[in-house]
């Protein structure tokens, strides 16, 4: 069920045109900047976007301008495991697999996930409970429990918010959803 939902929503997302992606990413950024979580954060983790995802580079640059420590995912060679790598400017990024930006391995500076205040989490889909449908490798599900104080905010196009995401015991919900229109508090089911 997860795989079919992922296939359908990725096909929908890949049809978005670049103009939409840029304008909606800018709207999403404005919603984020107005959030007290963002304003109060000193260490924020964002992601390096795929072309059809909400674009994070403006948000990364804004966070630098605000004096925040910015980190992004660094995928280890071990499948499904990632770290948070600090990037201090655009020179800290290089082109990696699939021509996507990644932290420069030659300058890698990792940070303890427990120090992160806010994590912006990508997904293929979310539901209003904060349940996430990712790409299927489990990177964030393994990483988020290490970031015990972080407010997790799912960045998602409003068209990718679904009624229900199938979950299993390892899935980690986010606290809020950030769309191009609003910040939505999730109804996270507490364990």
Could you tell me the residue ranges of all domains in the chain? 2-185
Residue 170 has a pLDDT of: 82
Rounded average pLDDT per 10-residue block, the chain, 191 residues: 89 94 97 96 96 95 97 90 93 82 90 98 95 90 95 96 90 93 80 41
Tell me the pairing of strands 176-178 and 183-185. antiparallel
Q: Which among 177, 181, 180, 171 is positioned nearest to 127, based on CA atoms?
A: 177
Query: Model pTM?
Result: 0.93
CATH class of the domain whose range is 2-185: alpha beta
Q: Which among 172, 183, 186, 171 is positioned nearest to 130, based on CA atoms?
A: 186
Residue 189 has a pLDDT of: 53
Residue 101 has a pLDDT of: 86
- What is the residue whose two structure tokens read 């984020």? 32
Residue 188 has a pLDDT of: 61
Residues 67 and 41: their CA atoms lie apart, in Å, by: 10
Residue 190 has a pLDDT of: 46
């Amino acid at each position: 069920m997860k795989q079919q939902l992922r296939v359908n929503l990725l096909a929908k997302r890949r049809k978005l045109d670049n103009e939409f992606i840029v304008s909606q990413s800018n709207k999403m950024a404005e919603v984020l900047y107005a959030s007290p979580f963002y304003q109060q954060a000193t260490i924020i983790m964002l992601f390096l976007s795929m072309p059809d995802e909400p674009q994070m580079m403006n948000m990364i640059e804004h966070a630098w301008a605000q004096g925040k420590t910015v980190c992004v995912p660094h995928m280890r060679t071990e499948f499904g495991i990632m770290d948070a790598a600090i990037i201090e400017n655009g020179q800290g990024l290089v082109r990696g697999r699939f021509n996507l930006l990644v932290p420069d391995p030659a300058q890698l500076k990792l940070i303890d996930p427990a120090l992160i205040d806010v994590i912006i989490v990508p997904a293929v889909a979310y539901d209003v409970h904060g349940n996430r449908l990712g790409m299927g490798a489990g990177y964030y599900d393994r990483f988020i429990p290490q970031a015990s104080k972080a407010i997790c905010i799912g960045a998602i196009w409003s068209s990718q918010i679904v009624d229900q995401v199938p979950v299993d015991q390892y899935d980690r919900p986010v606290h809020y959803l950030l769309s191009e229109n609003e910040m939505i508090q999730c109804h996270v089911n507490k364990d």
